Amino acid sequence: MNDAKYIGLDVHQATISAAVLDSDGRLIMESILETKAATILQFIHGLRGSLQITFEEGTCAAWLARWQPKPR
């Protein structure tokens, strides 16, 4: 059983649209998040398995590209 999850983030000024796919490419979750580091961490920490994260590059996501949270 492959427990991989693929997370896509579409970052905007006030909100982030998040989608989570399983290892078969099936959509298992969609969510709207507040554009804050703590909110992103809370969302990610609620997921289990091997996580792969990607996000749309743009002016609202520049801080996210430089952000490196500490491992939990």
Domain coordinates in residue numbering, the chain = 5-66
Backbone phi and psi for residue 59, each to the nearest 5 degrees, phi listed first: -65, -30
Backbone phi and psi for residue 14, each to the nearest 5 degrees, phi listed first: -105, -25
Closest of 5, 70, 71, 63 to residue 35, by C-alpha: 63
What is the pTM for the complete model shown? 0.83
Neighbours of 71 (CB within 10 A): 4
Residue 50 has pLDDT above 90, yes or no: yes
Per-residue pLDDT of 4-42, as tens digits, reads: 999 999 999 899 999 999 999 999 999 999 999 899 999
Neighbours of 64 (CB within 10 A): 18
Instruction: For domain 5-66, give the fold.
Output: Nucleotidyltransferase; domain 5 (3.30.420)
Give the tokens for residue 48: 């289990």
